[in-house]
Chain A
Amino acid sequence: MSVKIYVPRDSAALAVGADEVAQAIEQQATARGIAIDLVRNSSRGLLWLEPLVEVAVGGQRLAYGPVTPEAVESLFEAGFLTGKTHPLAVGPIEAHPYLKNQERLTFVRAGITDPLSLEDYQAHEGFAGLRAALALSPADIVQQILDSGLRGRGGAGFPAGIKWKTVLQTNADQKYVVVNADEGDSGTFADRMVMEGDPFMLIEGMIIAGIAVGATRGYVYIRSEYPDAIFVMEEAVRRATTGGFLGKNILGSGKAFHIVIRKAAGSYVCGEETALLESLEGKRGIVRAKPPLPAIVGLFGKPTVINNVLTLAAAPYILSHGPKVYADFGMGRSRGTLPFQLAGNIRHGGLVEKAFGVTARQLIEDFGGGTESGRPLRAVQIGGPLGAYLPDSLLDTPMDYEALAAKGGVLGHGGLVVFDDTVDMAEQARYAMEFCAIESCGKCTPCRIGSTRGEEVIQHIQAKPAEAGAHAKLLRDLCSTMVNGSLCAMGSMTPYPVLSALDHFPEDFNLTAETHKAA
């Protein structure tokens, strides 16, 4: 009997040499005449350990990592195929506290299965949600989503069930389900991991949404910076179609659903839902004014469910386990779990799926192990480039949309980027404006001109300490114009990192206590 070895092909693993490791393992095995069964699974999200090689021994999966191609020979020498120890040995992976202490509903199969194996998927509860949905009326499916309390995971946190309900109740000859996979926030990679690691789950979620609202076509809009995700999703759609899960007659139900994978072309704003729809229509990805809502006038003018990857990926679980099980996780109006992403200067970076309510400190210290540099933590940016920088003093705030907002924070897509004390917060603020200037679609004035002026004003503050006070005042006024005047989150939230940096780290802006107060 051959030994089963798992080497991930998630791009975070590939980027640190997973393919080379897999190749080395095959070479060693061949050279040694050992029969192995090499499975290319996905990542479990313990990214500091990638490439994380697992060996199935005695019903357990024993892990070694981070493995380099050069270390492979020593692993063979040490007898890792029978679970022998080695300096890289991690032990039984499922018992690893990083994993054990999570509440994985969405990432339940991550790293366990072969992402493109329909058999593997179904052997691990795959398509149970779809089968459940097919037995329900559209209105009942929508009700389950409503009951689960699922909110959009793209950042805005709008209840998914209400969107679905609106689309269901709008009559049209054609409706669409659109997946927002334009995961452009720095510090986030959960969408990518879903698509690369468990693509059928997303497909299943889309089909459920389609059946629920009466849509027969779906689009997945994936950023061009994610070539691996695009490849895996395209392959998964092909296989799901062949397998009868997509197409004109899903599982013999008489219902139809088709999925098209679309590649974006380098525009952060296209992560905003209406800009995304413009882009899918083949236009410049500029933001539409609302109303009308996409649920009523969406893609090609038709009613459209547009949800984030994680939102739709949660649907299969809700349908197969019931809304209550899902809703029992979380706190306040934030129900269920959120896959948090620990990034930046952190020792144990990776993906941590937890119920809402966990604190940033728990995530960063208990899971993340503090900064990677070992230096003191100075700031954490939560929620991507439009999220606020929080100082250490605010890290005990629970991760919940409302609780974080109360502290001036933004949960966004659940990404946490950690900075140690070498960070220059004025430079981070300047970068926030620069990023807005680079990515602004140019439609509304506060964002189009304001971002450029914002960068200039901060440069001025950096260059001329004597005038910092007056310019800090101007910066605040500009931020107010942008927050209240911009058409979409790009312009209206860029001030969040800027103002939070200014508020919590005035010393980096050449401000004295006095000038800070005056501004």
Chain B
Amino acid sequence: MDNNYPLHDIDYGTPKSVSEKTVTLEIDGFEVTVPQGTSLMRAAVVAGTQIPKLCATDSLEPFGSCRLCLVEIEGRKGFPASCTTPAEAGMVVRTQTPHLAELRRGVMELYISDHPLDCLTCAANGDCELQDMAGVVGLRDVRYGYQGLNHLKDQADTSNPYFTYDPSKCIVCNRCVRACEETQGTFALTISGRGFESRVSASESQPFMDSECVSCGACVNVCPTATLMEKTVIEAGQPDHSVLTTCAYCGVGCGFKADMKGSEVVRMTPWKDGKANEGHACIKGRFAWGYATHKDRILKPMIRKHITDPWQEVSWETAINHAASEFRRIQAESGVDSIGGITSSRCTNEESYLVQKLVRAAFRNNNVDTCARVCHSPTGYGLGQTYGTSAGTQTFKSVEKPTSS
């Protein structure tokens, strides 16, 4: 299909800085200029280098917990985390040195010492950042063994109909907790306990369905492992291609990637560059798309004489000709104005346009209305009368504009 869109977007690690001022620095010998406030991690991506990372993702504020993204900066002691260190003019940064390699391997060795070794049968196989990073840092051995204290026996929570939470695979990167706070604003997740016992907890360490979770999927979206995972992907496996589209539920019009396996949807992922939603979504668009293949779908045209009659399944041609002849008959008997049409706010612009054209040009009257009648027709009237346009005045993003005028 020519509609294909990359399955995985580039992850810049930290959000874009909006500063108009720029700084120029050197990363691994390459000069790069970025807006002031840009993290070293993001600047590195701009310069063409992906610094290893697990807790950072560009939809969330930097957190600095995984310690894989450490770098060396000339003239500075230690190994600052590139996600939380802003780029400064004149900095000379190295993202790959033997010492950094050793450090990253050391951290990965710790991660894997408390992680199941079931990559091949894991639902995230092929789409797991932990797996990727183990490869990137060249982890070859876990000298701690696997007999130490661990969470491998933690039980998965499958209470949510759309995704599972498997704490045995959790690396406590806090991405889910932060997404629930920063992206969704529900604060349904936290970490319970501390130290080695730190565990992602829905509300009061409850099953997700009993918690404050509203199933928006933001946590699932940012999870770098198989800890929070769509059940559809667990069942069907990883998608093989992706098509950009727009959610058909509410008036926000979220951009989505339909992640496909052949002609089957396996996941709807909110599109990062969708301007209405910027990578976020709600339970409906994210998960409630199964109706499209529901057994209740009627796939053959049907006709009947009276509503007390059984339906007759017929060909498209028969059905359409029947409808047309009925309409013509009614118009002949009761006048041109005795029929009409209703367009749907659920259908596309093109479809709505055609239905109103059908009414005006083929029915030869203006008896066309839309279900917007029963919701927003006063908006159209009121704003039309006062401002001259029957529509909202701003972009959604406008709400994020600071208060001062």
In the complex, whether B65 has a CB less than 8 A from a CB of chain A is: yes
Contact B196 A449 (CB under 8 A): yes
Residues of A within 8 A of B195 (CB): 437-442, 447-448, 451-452
Q: Is B162 an interface residue (CB 8 A)?
A: no
B138 to chain A, nearest CB (A): 15
Residue from B62, B79, B84, B195 having most chain A Cβ neighbours under 10 A = B195
A484 touches B113 (CB 8 A): no
> Are the C-beta atoms of B111 and A449 separated by less than 8 Å?
yes
Find the A residue at minimum CB distance from B144. Answer: A453
| B interface list, Cβ under 8 A from A | 62-67, 70, 78-79, 81, 83-86, 99, 102-103, 106-107, 109-111, 113-114, 143-144, 148-149, 171-172, 174, 190-191, 193-198
Q: A291-B84, A291-B86, A450-B110 are in contact. Are A445 and B67 (CB under 8 A)?
A: yes
Neighbouring B residues of A358 by C-beta, 8 Å: none
Q: How far is the CB of A443 from chain B (nearest CB, A)?
A: 5
User: Interface stretch among A46-54, A91-99, A474-482?
Assistant: A474-482
In the complex, chain B residues whose CB is within 8 Å of the CB of A345: none
Say which residue of A437, A443, A481 sits within 8 Å of B107 (CB atoms): A481
- Distance in angstroms from A293 CB to nearest chain B CB is 12
Given contacts A442-B193, A442-B196, contact A453 B148 (CB under 8 A): yes
Q: Beta-carbon contacts of A272-301 to B below 8 Å, as 1s and 0s? A: 000000000000101001110000000000
Contact with B along A195-217 (1 / 0, CB 8 A): 00000000000000000000000
Q: A456 with B196: in contact, given A291-B85, A449-B110, A487-B65 (CB under 8 Å)?
A: no
Are B198 and A442 in contact (CB-based, < 8 A)? Answer: yes
A519 to B: closest C-beta gap in Å: 13
Q: Which residues of B contact A394 (CB under 8 A)?
A: none
A-B residue pairs in contact (CB < 8 Å), sample of 24: A267-B194, A286-B194, A289-B63, A438-B195, A442-B198, A443-B63, A445-B65, A445-B67, A445-B172, A446-B110, A449-B111, A449-B114, A452-B195, A452-B196, A453-B144, A453-B148, A477-B143, A481-B103, A481-B106, A484-B70, A484-B78, A484-B79, A485-B106, A487-B81
> How many angstroms from the CA of A451 to the CA of B83 in the assembled complex?
24
- Counted as pairs of residues, one from A and one from B, with CB atoms less than 8 Å apart, the total is 106
Cβ-defined partner of A441 (8 Å) among B78, B81, B194: B194
Q: Nearest-CB distance from B76 to chain A (Å)?
A: 13
Given pairs A445-B66, A445-B110, 13 additional interface contacts (CB within 8 A): A441-B194, A442-B172, A444-B66, A445-B107, A448-B198, A449-B114, A456-B144, A456-B148, A480-B102, A484-B70, A485-B67, A485-B70, A487-B81
- A446–B110 CA distance with the chains assembled, in angstroms: 7
A267 to B194, CA, bound (A): 10
| Whole-angstrom distance between the Cβ of B297 and the nearest chain A Cβ | 48
Give the complex CA separation of A440 and B195 in angstroms: 5
Q: Is A113 an interface residue (CB 8 A)?
A: no
For the complex of A and B, 4 pairs with smallest distance between CB atoms: A481-B106, A289-B64, A442-B198, A440-B195
Report the minimal beta-carbon distance from B339 to chain A, rounded to whole angstroms.
64
Chain A residues with Cβ below 8 Å from B62 are 289
Interchain CA distance A441-B174 in the complex, whole Å: 13
Q: Is the CB of A437 within 8 A of B67?
A: no
CA distance A437 to B172 in the complex (A): 15
Q: Residues of A contacting B148 with CB < 8 Å?
A: 452-453, 456
Q: Say which residue of B83, B85, B107, B193 sits within 8 Å of A446 (CB atoms).
A: B107
**Looking at A284, A441, A451, A453, which has the most chain B CB atoms within 10 Å of its CB?**
A453
A437 to B196, CA, bound (A): 7
Q: Tell me which residues across on chain B come within 8 A of A486, comparing CB atoms.
A: 67
At the interface, yes or no: A457 with Cβ under 8 Å from chain B? yes
CA distance A141 to B313 in the complex (A): 91
Q: CB < 8 Å: which of B84, B107, B111, B197 contacts A442?
A: B197
Residues of A contacting B190 in the complex (Cβ-Cβ under 8 angstroms) = 284
User: Across the two chains, which residue of chain B brings its CB closest to A269?
Assistant: B194
- Given A440-B196, A445-B110, A477-B106, do A487 and B67 touch, yes or no (CB 8 Å)? yes
Q: How far is the CB of A473 from chain B (nearest CB, A)?
A: 9
Within the complex, the shortest CB–CB distance from A493 to chain B, in Å, comes to: 13
Q: How many angstroms between the C-alpha atoms of A421 and B171 in the bound complex?
A: 42
Minimum Cβ distance to chain A for residue B88 (Å): 10
Q: Is the CB of B172 within 8 A of A448?
A: yes
Distance from B51 Cβ to chain A, minimum over Cβ atoms (Å): 14
B67 x A474 contact (CB < 8 A): no
Q: Contact flags (1/0) for A451-479 with B, using CB distance below 8 Å?
A: 11100110000000000000000100110
- Chain A nearest CB from B173 CB (Å) reads 9
List A residues 472-512 near B (Cβ within 8 Å).
474, 477-478, 480-481, 484-487
B194-A444 in contact (CB<8A): no
A477 to B198, CA, bound (A): 24
CB contacts (< 8 Å) of B63 on chain A: these are 289, 443
Contacts of B67 on A, CB cut-off 8 Å? 444-446, 485-487
Query: Could you say which residues of chain B place their CB within 8 Å of the CB of A474?
Result: 143-144
Distance of A452 Cα from B197 Cα, bound (Å): 10
Q: Enumerate chain A residues within 8 angstroms of B84, measured Cβ to Cβ.
A: 289-291
* Pair A457/B65 contact, Cβ less than 8 Å: no
Q: Which residues of A contact B174 (CB under 8 A)?
A: 443
Q: Which residues of A contact B144 (CB under 8 A)?
A: 453, 456-457, 474
Contact of A443 among B65, B86, B106, B143 (CB under 8 A): B65
Closest CB in chain A relative to B211 CB, distance in Å: 18
**Chain A positions 287-338 with a Cβ under 8 Å from a chain B Cβ:** 289-291
Say whether B194 contacts A485, CB under 8 Å. no
- Cross-interface CB contact of A448 among B83, B102, B196, cutoff 8 Å: B196
User: Which residues of chain B are within 8 angstroms of A478 by Cβ–Cβ distance?
Assistant: 106, 110
Closest residue to B102 on the A side, CB-wise?
Answer: A480
Asked if residues B194 and A289 are in contact (CB atoms below 8 Å), the reply is no
* A398 CA / B28 CA spacing, docked (Å): 42
Q: Contact between A453 and B113 (Cβ–Cβ < 8 Å)?
A: yes
List the B side residues contacting A457 at CB < 8 Å: 144
Cα-based distance from A480 to B81 in the complex (angstroms): 16
Task: Give the chain B neighbours of A290 by CB distance below 8 A.
Answer: 84
Contact A485 B107 (CB under 8 A): yes
What's the minimum C-beta distance from B400 to chain A, rounded to whole angstroms? 18
Give complex CA distance A286, B190 in Å: 12
Residues of B within 8 A of A456 (CB): 144, 148-149
Residue of B nearest to A491 (CB): B67
* Distance between A349 CB and nearest chain B CB, rounded to angstroms: 31
B contact residues around A447 at 8 Å (CB): 195
Q: How far apart are the CA atoms of A518 and B261 in the complex, in Å?
A: 54
Q: Contact check, A481 vs B110: say whether CB atoms are below 8 A apart.
A: yes
Which residues from B are CB-within-8-Å of A445? 65-67, 107, 110-111, 171-172
Q: Nearest Cβ distance between residue B129 and chain A, in whole angstroms?
A: 14
Chain A residues near B193: list those with CB within 8 A.
442
B359 CB, min distance to chain A CBs, angstroms: 58
A contact residues around B110 at 8 Å (CB) = 445-446, 449-450, 453, 478, 481
B78 proximity list for chain A (CB < 8 A): 484
Nearest CB of chain A from residue B39's CB, rounded to whole Å? 11
CB neighbours (8 Å) of A485 from chain B are 67, 70, 79, 103, 106-107
A480–B102 CA distance with the chains assembled, in angstroms:
9
Return B393 CB to nearest CB of chain A, in Å. Answer: 31
Nearest chain A CB to B196 CB, angstrom units? 5
- Expressed in whole angstroms, the Cα–Cα distance for A452 and B195 within the complex equals 9
CA–CA, A289 to B55, complex, Å? 13
The chain A residue with its CB closest to the CB of B195 is: A440
Chain A residue with the shortest CB-CB distance to B148:
A456
CA distance A480 to B107 in the complex (A): 10
Which of B70, B86, B107 neighbours the largest number of chain A CB atoms within 10 Å of its CB?
B107
Chain B residues whose CB sits within 8 angstroms of the CB of A448 once the complex forms: 172, 195-196, 198
A484 engages B103 (CB within 8 Å)? yes
A442 surroundings in chain B (CB, below 8 A)? 172, 191, 193-198
